[in-house]
Structure 1
Amino acid sequence: MPTHSVSDILRAPAMGATIQLKGWVRTFRSNRFLALNDGSCQASIQCVVDFEAFPEALLRRVTTGASVAVVGELVPSQGSGQAVEVAVKTLEVLGDCPADSYPLQPKRHSLEFLREIAHLRMRTNTFGAVMRVRHAAAFAVHEFFNQQGFFYLNTPIITASDAEGAGELFRVTTLPADGAPKNDEGLTDFRQDFF
């Protein structure tokens, strides 16, 4: 069965269809309501779990931050806040996440705190939104220049930092190798160099 993205499901819900979703648990309330996010959009989709149909040991593994695969039927939502939800038929924990040590909780975190957990901060709404804006801006710039006939290529990075003598590997200059301008002392006049 193909995996659908949360953004595709929310954009064009096919009521009554059996779908598979994979993502991270944002919240799991009352061992029943699972908010699943896969990073494809800012929103999460609510998955309703019949806790009597699943082993208690499995449900204890469904914690904030755990990665799960869900198969279920897309149905109109009974509650407010969302138009559709998934009635879960099968639930598989793909990656456990210890609740006592996972730093992201269902609350707002400061940017200073997120700076300390760079490997996880992309899962937050703040950084997800920043990356979507960054993607859209970079894509628009690249698309514009492509339509104008320009090529995109990765140039070597030229930097002024000299770590462990690597700066002596090559020199970047606009002055000719022979016949460079000289100063009054007869030395190369680097003030005339572009760099």
Structure 2
Amino acid sequence: MLLAETVRRTGLDTAISVALASGRKPRAVHDPGKTLLDVALAVALGGDCLADVGVLRAEPGVFGPVASDPTVSRLIATLAAAGPKALAAIRSARADIRSRVWGLAGTNGPAADGQVAVDIDGVLVLAHSEKQDATATWKKTFGHHPLVAFVDHGQAGSGEPVAALLRPGNAGSNTASDHITTTRLAWRNCPDPCDGDAGH
């Protein structure tokens, strides 16, 4: 309930719906923005596949109408086919809402002192099947080795994820080009003062 209400109060639901509105078919029953947010909520609740939106579907009083598994799958396929265009629209909507929330936080916001600290960390994510780019890892497991950028909120365990770069399980820990890409993605997803030319 807390996650669903946070999405509503920050306006993230409206922003994502507007960002994906151009891809909505005229007679579509389910809003693509809400469906994508339902997938995100399912992941936040511990889900690890698209079918886990069924957890939300079981609680319509909390999450409202939730699309069927085939509808969710079609949306993800559509977004994947749109590639960078869809990602740019989603990232822009998230950045706008983050700017609003940080502004509302005032002196409690992560940018209150005019600086933003971003930590980049790699973590192994296990895959239990032959998922795209899943490979053997240096720890003798199988999966992915993404880099994730977190804005430091000044308290242990309070980092705010702002960007992630999915990489194969055998990707190196100190690959400079991947760190640069992740840093640029983080800058684009942060409000002032950390937006601007990624070359600076």
* TM-score, length-scaled by structure 1: 0.19
Q: Give the number of the structure whose residues are more often strand, by fraction.
A: 1
Q: Give the number of the structure whose residues are more often helix, by fraction.
A: 2
* TM-score, length-scaled by structure 2: 0.18
